[in-house]
């Protein structure tokens, strides 16, 4: 099962990578002028369009790294790298995984470390058809409450699984509930550069983007970067070099609240659209942090796909008892594979 996953991934990802690459030449151009979004992405009240998705920051020079579909076996390694870099990112948590103690612990750790916690949401059976508005809202509310149980606040920034516009009903509901829909204007391609040999290429994606932008416009843009917090991508092993590249180009790493100047990046209620709250680490608060410093890393020394391996001599049952059964691990790989199906639609839509 473990070896089937990556094969599925690359089989599915390859055609899409080609599709997405076709769109890359326009990417830097699109990324350049951030729309004057002073009122925030939720200011229009009509049906959801691409304009409703948060895809850039208010301040040129900012980079908001975001990771969806976690927590996973990869999260802890990312947290360690981020701690060394004193840098903050945004994690879109999939509430389903929080029933496993180890993942719940990792998400709490991420929150306590000062990262912004958003939410990934995927409809059961992937369609809103056959469900009432209230049933959908309740399901979203349940996921949000699961996260609140753990960290004390309800997420506001949301990444919809396959967030193309094919299920406008879901998107309109999510928007009407007061969530901020998050898109991206840079894909770090961690699902493509997903081996020890290739994950350092992720930093090259940043390098190329920053360089092209500067060559073409003579100034910095801002970036909301899409990454995947799953162990079958190179996100964790590629991260040290990514941070050093951001540092080398003098960009500023921010959480999404820093990206949008949002002092209240959590919701008051999981379902009702009745306002927002901040916490001690939110933008504008005393403990809010942005920026980064360079980190040490051994090229090729951080291995992707390194699932937590039980120590050979240790008490294995003790260390593995709270992990998902292999069946769940298998379905996570399938889930990761299905994540990849969103890439061409998003890439093409954003870069048109």
Residue among 146, 39, 334 nearest 138 (CA)? 146
**Among residues 105 and 278, whose Cβ is nearest to ligand NAG?**
105
Q: How far apart are CB 306 and ligand NAG at their closest, in Å?
A: 22
Q: How far apart are CB 27 and ligand NAG at their closest, in Å?
A: 27
**Among residues 120 and 213, whose Cβ is nearest to ligand NAG?**
120
The CA distance from 233 to 170, in Å, is 28
CB 183 within 8 Å of CB 53: yes
Here the tokens at position 97 are 């995984």
**Among residues 1 and 51, whose Cβ is nearest to ligand NAG?**
1
| 121 interacts with ligand NAG by CB under 6 A | yes
β pairing state of 252-253 and 223-228:
unpaired
Burial class (CB in 10 A: 0-12, 13-18, 19+), 250: exposed
CB 191 within 8 Å of CB 233: yes
Angle at 31 between CA 340 and CA 201, to 5 degrees: 50
Contacting residue, 43, 134, 315, 321, with ligand NAG by CB under 6 A: 315
**Among residues 335 and 345, whose Cβ is nearest to ligand NAG?**
335
Span interacting with ligand NAG, options 115-123, 166-174, 220-228, 319-327, rule CB under 6 A: 115-123
Cα distances from 120 to residues 70, 211, 220, in angstroms, run 8, 31, 29
Per-residue binder mask for ligand NAG (CB under 6 A), 127-146, x = binder: ----------------x---
| 348 interacts with ligand NAG by CB under 6 A | no
| 318 interacts with ligand NAG by CB under 6 A | yes
Q: How far apart are CB 94 and ligand NAG at their closest, in Å?
A: 4
Span interacting with ligand NAG, options 89-97, 127-135, 281-289, 341-349, rule CB under 6 A: 89-97
Span interacting with ligand NAG, options 13-21, 117-125, 162-170, 242-250, rule CB under 6 A: 117-125
**Among residues 81 and 233, whose Cβ is nearest to ligand NAG?**
233
| 148 interacts with ligand NAG by CB under 6 A | no
The CA distance from 142 to 105, in Å, is 19
CB 94 within 8 Å of CB 331: no
The CA distance from 201 to 242, in Å, is 9
Residue among 176, 188, 194 nearest 140 (CA)? 176
Contacting residue, 115, 122, 159, 281, with ligand NAG by CB under 6 A: 122
Task: Give the nearest residue (CB) to ligand NAG.
Answer: 335
Residue 215 neighbours by CB distance under 10 Å: 9
Please give the backbone phi and psi of residue 180, each rounded to the nearest 5 degrees, phi first.
Answer: -95, 115
Contacts of 124 (CB under 8 A, 6+ apart): 139
| 95 interacts with ligand NAG by CB under 6 A | yes
**Among residues 95 and 116, whose Cβ is nearest to ligand NAG?**
95
β pairing state of 186-187 and 157-160:
unpaired
Contacting residue, 86, 96, 172, 198, with ligand NAG by CB under 6 A: 96
Binding footprint of ligand NAG on the chain (CB under 6 A):
94-96, 120-122, 124, 143, 315, 318, 335
């Amino acid at each position: 099962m473990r070896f089937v996953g990556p094969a599925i991934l690359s089989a599915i990802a390859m055609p899409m990578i080609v599709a997405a690459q076709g769109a890359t030449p326009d990417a830097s151009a699109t990324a350049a002028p951030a729309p004057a979004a002073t009122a925030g992405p939720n200011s229009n009240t009509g049906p959801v369009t691409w304009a409703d998705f948060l895809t850039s920051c208010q301040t040129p020079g900012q980079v908001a790294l975001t990771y969806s579909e976690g927590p996973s076996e990869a999260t802890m390694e990312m947290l360690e790298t981020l701690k060394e870099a004193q840098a903050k990112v945004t994690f879109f948590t999939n509430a389903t995984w929080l029933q496993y103690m180890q993942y719940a612990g990792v998400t709490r750790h991420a929150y306590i470390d000062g990262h912004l916690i958003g939410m990934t949401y995927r409809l059961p059976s992937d369609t809103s058809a056959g469900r009432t508005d209230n049933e959908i809202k309740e399901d979203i509310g349940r996921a949000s409450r699961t996260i609140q149980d753990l960290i004390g606040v309800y997420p506001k920034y949301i990444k919809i699984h396959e967030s193309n516009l094919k299920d406008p009903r879901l998107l309109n509901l999510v928007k009407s509930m007061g969530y901020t829909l998050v898109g991206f204007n840079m894909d770090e391609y961690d699902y493509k550069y997903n081996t020890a040999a290739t994950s350092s290429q992720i930093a090259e994606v940043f390098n190329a983007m920053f360089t092209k932008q500067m060559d073409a416009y003579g100034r910095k843009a801002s970036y909301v970067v899409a990454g995947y917090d799953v162990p079958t991508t190179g996100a964790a092993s590629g991260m040290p070099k990514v941070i050093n590249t951001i540092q080398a180009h003098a960009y500023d790493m921010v959480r999404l609240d820093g990206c949008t100047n949002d002092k209240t990046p959590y919701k008051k209620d999981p379902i009702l659209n009745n306002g927002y709250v901040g916490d001690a680490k939110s933008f504008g608060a005393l403990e809010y942090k942005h920026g980064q410093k360079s980190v040490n890393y051994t090229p090729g020394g951080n291995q992707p796909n390194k699932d937590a391996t039980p120590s050979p001599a240790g008490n294995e049952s003790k260390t593995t008892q709270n992990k998902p059964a292999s069946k769940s691990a298998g379905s996570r790989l399938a889930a990761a594979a299905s994540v990849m199906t969103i890439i061409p639609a998003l890439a093409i839509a954003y870069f048109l």
